[in-house]
């Protein structure tokens, strides 16, 4: 077994060495901001990037559609990660944030003016997500222990019950289905989702690899030490929630212009929050790119492989989805993509 | 003007009075011992100073500023740092990362900043762990974990260092070496307060000692005055009999 591993790492080591000059160039250019790569990791990151950017030219309609949805969920999973994954204050209520943005857009169109420009609805909706985020974060993040998680959970339940109570404005259970979609062209639509996702991935990665990421991880590991270091842990916890709310708002806006409407089941119910967590956990919490990978993996599996290729029914698809998440939780606690990342590190040729 | 003034500090937990109307002052450049039997309230005084606990009554002034109601990070940024009795390094970060955290600015917009590698090396070198910067905390021997705690406190650039039982669990050679390190800190301009329940080892190091028993301040004086005081002897003997 170990000799097979050795032989494999001789081959991969050589491959790593041949890619190293490219990786070195990358490291010199931006390594300080996003972390350094070896040759194999460079190949993974830029290979995936190339695949994602060219998907409409080689993928089927069903695959591209699944990847379009995955891009939005990747934004949710990464946004959840910068807050919950990094600080360890687990939010069970992130669908409230994307829901707030989506409902703001839909309610502005439905109640105020159907002709309202996206130049107005989009920023207002993202701001709404931020405001809701701060409303949750300010009172709850001063508490420690399980209270934060419980409050985020209750926030979803309240939001969900408020929708039918104000059905004249919210459309109740059926929601509002009069929101304009970005475009009906599936290829253009794909890039409408992918480009914001990539920008958010880069921004969050840079922040996560900075001092701020180090402080957020330290809050998770030992909050008392952070305060003893002269750093206001509460301020950073609230900041991480705000930092999470903004891309959640962006994702909510993308989703409402993808589906052309809002309803409580698609946007708010607590299942949606748990799915964001599942994607982040499956990919690898507190790594930003892990949750991105987790979202693509789970959604392409659920909406394309199990649907279009395997032709399974919805309950079967969801059972496999959650079964897989459970398996990762039990057997690969660090997450699939973090595991892959560390494997590439090990099979690389090492620093010359 | 003294650097630190504790004025009538009282801390009650429900019906238990942990610290009762304790007052003392620390002057710049001193090394002062805060001593007393186990459970006498010494660490509670430190916790009140660092705002881990809110005081029930009284005030704490540092360098002319009332810091009684400051929050922990504000107390640290005003120039006070405490080395706890329990070591609590972040296990997932190497020694260097643990020190680096204590140099980061308290600003959500500062992506870079904090100490350079050379500065982190210097902090580590002041407590002789500069060759262990890449090691993980759980690989270190006990004495080095304690030294890491001190290096972290140094990294906040304190004027006053509060040391809670710094010699606990160390052998005699390590104690002697650490005491010499504290003398060097004093020469570098750091004022030091050391909590210890064990009077013996401390008395060669400190200029003055303040004795606390059952939450009350019993007395303060030079090491000789303190060790010869019958009340102090009784407090220590009394505890010895009870345990």
| DSSP state letters, B30-98 | -EEEEE-STTSSHHHHHHHHTTSS--SEEEEEETTEE-TT--HHHHHHTTEEEE-SS----TTS-HHHH
B76, A233: Cβ pair inside 8 Å?
no
**A2 confidence band (pLDDT: 50, 70, 90):** low
Fold of B1-79+160-242: Rossmann fold (3.40.50)
B86 and chain A: CB distance < 8 Å anywhere? no
Chain B residues touching A214 at Cβ < 8 A: 97, 100-101, 104
Q: B1 CB near a chain A CB, below 8 Å?
A: no
Tokens of B189: 């301009």
With CB atoms and an 8 Å threshold, state whether B90 touches A210: no
3-state secondary structure (DSSP) of residue B164: strand
Pick the residue from chain A with its C-alpha nearest to B99: A229
A83 in Cβ contact with A141 (< 8 Å): no
Indicate the average pLDDT of chain A: 93
- The architecture CATH gives domain A59-270: Orthogonal Bundle (1.10)
Q: Could you tell me which of A244, A305, A307 has the C-alpha nearest to residue A277?
A: A244
Which is more confidently placed, A352 or B168?
B168
Q: Band the pLDDT of A6: cuts 50, 70, 90.
A: confident
**Are A212 and B88 an interchain contact pair (Cβ–Cβ within 8 Å)?**
no
Q: Is A149 helix (H, G, I), strand (E, B) or coil?
A: helix
pLDDT of residue B169: 85
Q: Which residues of A touch B112 (CB under 8 A)?
A: 210-211
The whole-number average pLDDT for the span A172-182 is 91
Q: pLDDT, tens digit, for every residue of A58-76?
A: 999 999 999 999 999 999 9
Q: Is the pLDDT reported for residue A1 higher than 60?
A: no
CB spacing of A229 vs B108 below 8 angstroms: no
Per the CB < 8 A criterion, the answer to whether A179 and A122 are in contact is no
Q: For residue A241, which residues of chain B lie inside 8 Å, CB to CB?
A: none
A206 contacts B81? CB cut-off 8 A = no
Comparing CB atoms, the residue among A211, A229, A235 nearest residue B111 is A211
Judge whether residue B242 has pLDDT over 70: no
Query: Chain B: nearest CA to A146, how far in angstroms?
Result: 21
Contact (CB<8Å) B73/A211: no
* Residue A349 pLDDT grade (very low, low, confident, very high; cuts 50, 70, 90): low
- Determine the average pLDDT of the residues in B30-40: 91
User: Which of B50, B71, B112 faces A210 most closely, judged by CB atoms?
Assistant: B112
Domain boundaries, chain B: 1-79+160-242, 87-157
Q: Is the pLDDT of residue B243 over 60?
A: no
pLDDT tens-digit readout, B122-158 = 999 999 999 999 999 999 999 999 999 999 999 999 9
* Residue that has been written with the tokens 């609590």 in this structure: B88
On the question of pLDDT at A15 being above 80, the answer is yes
The whole-angstrom distance between residue A116's C-alpha and the CA centroid of its chain comes to 29
CA distance B55 to A229: 21
* β-strands B216-221, B208-213 pairing: antiparallel
Interface test with B, best of A225, A228, A244, A334 (most B CBs within 10 A): A228
| Confidence band of A352 (pLDDT split at 50, 70, 90) | very low
Chain A residue at shortest CA distance from B87: A225
Determine the distance in angstroms separating the CA of B165 from the nearest CA of chain A, rounded to an integer: 17
Residue pair A129/A252 in contact (Cβ under 8 Å)? The answer is yes
Q: Which residues of chain B lie closer than 8 angstroms to A227, CB-CB?
A: 71-73, 76
For residue B1, the SS3 value is: coil
Q: How confident is the model at residue A143 (pLDDT cuts 50, 70, 90)?
A: confident
> Between chains, do A231 and B90 touch, taking CB under 8 Å as contact?
no
The arithmetic mean of pLDDT across residues A163-169, rounded, is 92
Q: Which chain A residues have a beta carbon less than 8 Å from that of B106?
A: 230-232, 235
Would you say residue A8 has pLDDT above 80? no
Q: State which residue of chain B sits closest to A220, comparing Cα positions.
A: B90
Q: Which residues pair with A36 in a beta bridge?
A: none
- Interchain pair B111, A235: CB under 8 A: no
Structure tokens of A227? 């305060």
Tokens of A228: 């003893």
Min Cα distance B73 → chain A (Å) is 4
Would you report the helix, strand and coil content of chain A in percent, each value rounded to 5?
A: 80, 0, 20
A272-322 pLDDT, tens digit each = 999 999 999 999 999 999 999 999 999 999 999 999 999 999 999 999 999
d(Cα B93, Cα B190) in Å, to the nearest integer? Answer: 28
- What does the pLDDT look like over A232-287, one tens digit per residue? 999 999 999 999 999 999 999 999 999 999 999 999 999 999 999 999 999 999 99
Residue A255, C-beta contacts closer than 8 angstroms, at least 6 positions apart: A72, A98, A102, A266, A267
Pairing of strands B191-196, B160-164: parallel
Of A211, A217, A225, the CB nearest to B113: A211
Model ipTM?
0.90
On chain B, the residues whose CB falls within 8 A of the CB of A235 are 106, 108
- CA dist A314 and B219 (Å) reads 77
Structure tokens of A312? 């399974």
Summarised one tens digit per residue, pLDDT across range B185-231 is 999 999 999 998 877 778 889 999 999 999 999 999 999 999 889 98
Q: Which pLDDT value is given to residue B241?
A: 46
Query: Measured between alpha carbons, how far is B23 from B45 in angstroms, rounded to an integer?
Result: 10
pLDDT score of B238: 64
């Amino acid at each position: 077994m170990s000799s097979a591993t050795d032989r494999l790492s001789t081959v991969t080591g050589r491959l790593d060495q041949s890619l190293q000059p490219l990786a070195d160039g990358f490291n010199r250019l931006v390594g300080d901001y996003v972390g350094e790569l070896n040759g194999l990791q460079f190949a993974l990151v830029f290979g995936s990037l190339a695949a994602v950017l060219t998907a409409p030219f080689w993928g089927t309609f069903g695959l591209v559609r699944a990847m379009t949805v995955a891009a939005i969920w990747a934004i949710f999973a990464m946004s959840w990660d910068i807050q919950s994954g990094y600080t360890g204050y687990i939010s069970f209520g992130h669908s409230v944030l994307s829901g707030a943005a989506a409902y703001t857009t839909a309610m502005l169109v439905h109640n105020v003016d159907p002709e309202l420009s996206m130049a107005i609805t989009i920023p207002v909706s993202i701001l709404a997500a931020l405001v809701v985020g701060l409303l949750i974060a300010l009172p709850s993040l001063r508490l420690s222990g399980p209270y934060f998680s419980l409050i985020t959970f209750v926030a979803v339940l309240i939001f969900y019950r408020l929708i039918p109570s104000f059905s004249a404005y919210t459309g109740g259970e059926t929601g509002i289905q009069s929101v304009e979609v970005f475009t009906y062209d599936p290829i253009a639509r794909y890039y409408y989702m992918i480009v914001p996702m990539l920008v958010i991935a880069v921004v969050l990665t840079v922040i996560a690899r900075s001092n701020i990421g180090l402080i957020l991880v330290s809050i998770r590991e030992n909050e008392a030490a952070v305060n003893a270091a002269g750093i206001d842990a509460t301020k950073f916890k609230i900041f991480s929630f705000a930092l999470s709310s903004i891309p959640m708002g962006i994702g909510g806006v993308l989703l409402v212009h993808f589906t052309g409407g809002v309803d409580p089941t698609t946007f708010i119910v607590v299942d949606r929050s748990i799915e964001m967590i599942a994607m982040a956990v499956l990919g690898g919490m507190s790594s930003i790119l892990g949750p991105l990978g987790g979202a693509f993996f789970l959604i392409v599996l659920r909406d394309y492989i199990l649907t279009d290729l395997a032709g399974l029914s919805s309950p079967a698809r969801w059972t496999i989805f959650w079964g897989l998440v459970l398996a990762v939780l039990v057997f690969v606690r660090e997450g699939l993509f973090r595991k892959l990342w560390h494997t590439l590190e090990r099979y690389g040729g090492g620093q010359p | 003007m003294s650097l630190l003034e504790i004025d009538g500090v009282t801390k009650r937990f429900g019906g238990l009075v942990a610290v009762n109307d304790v007052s003392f002052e620390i002057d710049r450049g001193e090394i002062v011992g805060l001593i007393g039997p186990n459970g006498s309230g010494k660490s509670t005084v430190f916790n009140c100073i660092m705002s881990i606990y809110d005081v029930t009554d009284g005030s704490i002034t540092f360098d002319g500023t009332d810091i009684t109601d400051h929050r922990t990070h504000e107390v640290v940024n005003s120039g006070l740092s405490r080395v706890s009795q329990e070591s609590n390094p972040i296990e997932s970060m190497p020694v260097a990362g643990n020190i680096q955290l204590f140099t980061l600015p308290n600003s959500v917009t500062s992506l870079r900043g904090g100490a350079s590698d050379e500065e982190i090396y210097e902090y580590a070198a002041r407590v002789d762990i500069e060759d262990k910067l890449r090691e993980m905390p759980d690989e270190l021997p006990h004495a080095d974990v304690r030294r890491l705690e001190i290096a972290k406190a140094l990294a906040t650039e304190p004027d006053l260092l509060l040391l809670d039982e710094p010699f606990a669990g160390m052998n005699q050679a390590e104690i002697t070496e650490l005491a010499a390190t504290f003398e060097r800190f004093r020469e570098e301009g750091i004022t030091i307060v050391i909590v210890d329940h064990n009077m013996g080892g401390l008395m060669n190091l400190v200029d003055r000692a303040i004795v606390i028993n059952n939450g009350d301040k019993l007395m303060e004086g030079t090491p000789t005055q303190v060790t010869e005081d019958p009340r102090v002897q009784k407090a220590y003997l009394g505890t010895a009999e009870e345990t």
